[in-house]
Amino acid sequence: MQTLERDGIKKVAPSSFAAGQAIAVDLIAVTVAVTNGDPRVLTIEDEGALPSGPFQVGHRSLQSGLRAWVERQTSLPLGYMEQLYTFADRDRAGVEQQVISISYLGLTREQRASGESEAGWGSWYAYFPWEDHRIGTPAMIARELEPRLRDWIEAARELEQRQTRLQRASITFGLDGRPWNEDLVLQRYELLFEAGLIAESGPASALPGRAATTGGRPMILDHRRILATGIARLRAKIKYHPVVFELMPETFTLLQLQRCVEALAGRLVHKQNFRRLIEQQELVEETGQAAQDTGGRPAKLFRFRRAVFTERAIVGTKLPISKA
């Protein structure tokens, strides 16, 4: 890959670029694990990029091409994977040519990369610190984000534009008494980008007297935007599909399962309601064993009922998240 730098942010151009080529296709992986209650994402480039690479003639399919790039860059195999989204915004690529970025969402359990690999795992809340509401609203929203967003709102020249900006900020960030919606991850990132409040916006976008960044680790190109899309997809999906079990070990306690869901959602759930939902959907079954390392009374161990996929395909199901 060719490394570029603009506005102080390192960017990587897919190596498939060639003279006269109008469009390049880049394959990008959002690979998620949950470790000790922390949602983690697989990264390269000193945690500044997602594993990615150009689609090449020798690749049998888009997915096989992505798997090849991820294994080459991280020395880790990919398990569950689904196509996430296709991006083709010229102004987000940071390079001269048009790039179509085809992203995939992968779920796995964290594994240590080999010593020769450039890969690492980072908390996705390091990139989006305003998204973790498990212990309440993050202080940085009122301290940093809200004042800068209100400055951006007031900077609008037309009344109608100010009203539109205020409505968007209130809905996405739960301002002015509105509730927090954990699914609006991408909308929040897009709003901060448009307001010139994150590093990817570039210093020229910042309001006078305000720094461009309000926190959150930046990524190259539009990788943080793609990560936001992956988080939003996963947060929505865990409410109607038992995909969370792809992140769990073979056996687990119900508390471990609850903590995994909370880590992904960035919200706490009501313990009794959550367990009642799991039991009603018959998603798990007891193993007859107990975990001894709980710090208290041994807790029952469960495993996911794989047959549930076939059953639910016939009758349909939902796994709603009940917030406390």
Predicted confidence (pLDDT) per residue in 235-252, tens digit = 999 988 888 999 999 999
At residue 27's C-alpha, the angle toward residues 26 and 32, to 5°, is 140
Q: Find the CATH number of the domain harbouring 28.
A: 3.90.79.10
Say yes or no: 6 and 75 in one domain: yes
Contact in structure between 210 and 110 (CB atoms under 8 Å): no
Q: Over the Cα atoms of the chain, what is R_g?
A: 21
- Asked whether residue 211 falls in the same domain as residue 247, the answer is no
My answer on whether 22 and 97 are in the same domain is yes
Q: Are residues 118 and 12 both part of a single domain?
A: yes
> Is the residue at 322 inside a domain?
no
Taking alpha carbons only, the member of 213, 61, 67 closest to residue 130 is 213
Structure tokens at 43: 């990264």
C-alpha 11/C-alpha 3 separation (Å) is 6
- Domain hosting residue 244, numbered range: 239-315
Find the DSSP H helices in 89-130: 90-93
- Give 306's contacts (C-beta < 8 A, 6+ positions apart): none
Q: Supply the pLDDT for residue 13.
A: 46
The residues near 160 (Cβ < 8 Å, ≥ 6 apart) are none
The verdict on 152 and 113 lying in the same domain is no
68, 94, 124 - which closes a domain:
124
Give every residue of the chain whose pLDDT is below 70, as ranges: 1-22, 89-97, 113-117, 203-214, 294-296, 308-324
Q: Which helix H or strand E contains 299, and what residues bound it?
A: strand 299-304
In a domain, 232, yes or no: no
Q: Which amino acid is at 41?
A: V
Domain-located, residue 170: yes
**pLDDT at position 80:** 84
Contacts with 187 (C-beta within 8 Å, 6 or more apart), sequence order: 168, 171, 172
DSSP assignment of 138-198, as one string? -HHIIIIIHHHHHHHHHT-SSHHHHHHHHHHHHHHHT-TTPPP-TT-HHHHHHHHHHTT-S
State the pLDDT at residue 136: 94
Task: Tell me what pLDDT residue 39 has.
Answer: 97
pLDDT value, residue 6: 35
* 127 class by beta-carbon count within 10 Å (0-12 exposed, 13-18 middle, 19+ buried): buried
DSSP 61: S
Q: What is the dihedral of CA 275, 236, 177, 323, to 10 degrees?
A: 0
Do 256 and 180 lie in one domain? The reply is: no
Burial class, 105, CB count within 10 angstroms (exposed 0-12 / middle 13-18 / buried 19+): buried
CA 247 to chain centre: 14
Q: How many CA atoms lie within 13 A of 171 on its CB side?
A: 11
* Tokens standing for residue 259: 């903590």
Can you tell me whether residue 88 is helix, strand or coil?
coil
Tokens of 196: 């010139």
DSSP-derived secondary structure letter, 242: G
Instruction: Report the pLDDT value the prediction gives residue 93, as an integer from 0 to 100.
Output: 47
**Block residue for tokens 């901060």:** 192
What pLDDT does residue 311 have?
63
Q: Of 109, 124, 139, at which residue does a domain stop?
A: 124
- Crossing angle, helix 271-281 and helix 254-265, to 10 degrees? 110
pLDDT of the residue at 21:
52
Task: Look at residues 124, 158, 193 and tell me which one is the last residue of a structural domain.
Answer: 124
Whether 32 is in a domain gets the answer yes
Alpha-carbon gap, residue 289 to 204, rounded angstroms: 60
Does residue 112 share a domain with residue 7? Answer: yes
Closest CA to 104 of 87, 121, 123: 87
The answer to whether residue 311 is domain-embedded is: yes
Q: Are residues 71 and 185 in the same domain?
A: no
**Tally of domains within the chain:** 3
Q: What pLDDT shows up at residue 5?
A: 42
Q: What is the pLDDT of residue 10?
A: 39
User: Both 36 and 107 in a single domain?
Assistant: yes
Q: For the domain that residue 260 is a member of, what is the CATH number?
A: 1.10.10.10
pTM across the whole model: 0.85
